[in-house]
Chain A
Amino acid sequence: MYFPMKKKLTKYLFVLPGFCFFAFAMLIPFVMGINIAFTDWDGVAASYQYVGLKNFMDIFRDARIRTPFFNTLEFALIGTVVGNVVSLYLAMLINSKFEKLNHISRTVFFIPVCFSSVLTAFLWKFLYREFISDLFGTKNLLGNPFWVIPAIVVIGVWNGAGINMLIYLSGLKNIPLELYEASKVDGANAFQQFTRVTLPLLMPAFSVCVTLTLTSWLKEFATTLSATGGGPGGASRTVSIYVYENLYKYYKAGYGQAVSFLFSLCLIVIGLCVSSFFRKREVEL
Chain B
Amino acid sequence: MKHKKNMPGDVILLLLMLATIVIFVIPLYLAVLTAFKSKPELSRSVLALPEGLYLENFREGMRRSDFFHSLRNSVLVTFPSVILIVLCASMSGYSVARHAQKTAALQLLDKVYLASLMIPFQILMIPVYRIYKALNLLNSLPGMVLMLTGTSIAYASFLYVGFVKSIPREIEESAYMDGCSEMKTFWIITFPLLKPVSATVAALHVMWLWNDFNISIILLQKEMVRTITVKQFYFFGQYTAEYGLAFAAAIVSMIPVIVCFAFMQKYIVNGIAAGAVKS
Q: Which residues of A contact B (CB under 8 A)?
A: 1-3, 6-7, 10-15, 17-19, 21-30, 32-33, 36, 43, 89-90, 93, 96-98, 101, 104-119, 122-124, 126-127, 130-131, 134, 158, 163, 166, 169-170, 173-174, 176-177, 204, 208, 211-212, 215, 218-219, 221-222, 226, 240, 243-244, 247, 253, 256-257, 260-261, 263-264, 267-268, 270-272, 275, 285
Contact = CB atoms under 8 A, between A and B. Distances in A.
Contacts of A17: 87-88, 91-92
Given A93-B20, A127-B30, A114 B207 contact: yes
Contacts of A26: 116, 119, 124, 150-151, 154
Given A1-B176, A176-B278, A261-B123, A96 B13 contact: yes
Give the 9 A-B CB pairs with smallest separation, nearest first: A25-B150, A116-B211, A14-B95, A18-B88, A29-B127, A219-B120, A18-B92, A32-B127, A267-B118
Given A25-B147, A118-B232, A6 B130 contact: no
A20 to B, nearest CB: 8
Contacts of B125: 244, 247
Given A21-B149, A93-B16, A166-B268, 11 more contacts: A14-B94, A19-B109, A21-B84, A25-B146, A29-B124, A32-B127, A116-B229, A170-B277, A173-B273, A176-B278, A219-B121
A30 B127 contact: yes
B116 to A, nearest CB: 5
A108 B150 CA distance: 31
A253 B126 contact: yes
A33 to B, nearest CB: 5
B153 to A, nearest CB: 5
8 contacts: A27-B112, A28-B131, A32-B130, A96-B17, A112-B28, A119-B250, A219-B118, A219-B119
Contacts of B121: 219, 221
A165 to B, nearest CB: 11
Contacts of A98: 13-14, 17
Given A26-B150, A29-B127, A174-B277, A260 B95 contact: no
B60 interface: no
A29 B146 CA distance: 13
A25 B118 contact: no
Contacts of A10: 181-183
Contacts, number: 261
A44 to B, nearest CB: 11
Contact of A117 (B117, B211, B257): B211
A22 B154 contact: yes
A253 B124 CA distance: 12
B28 A15 contact: no
Contacts of B17: 93, 96, 98, 101, 105
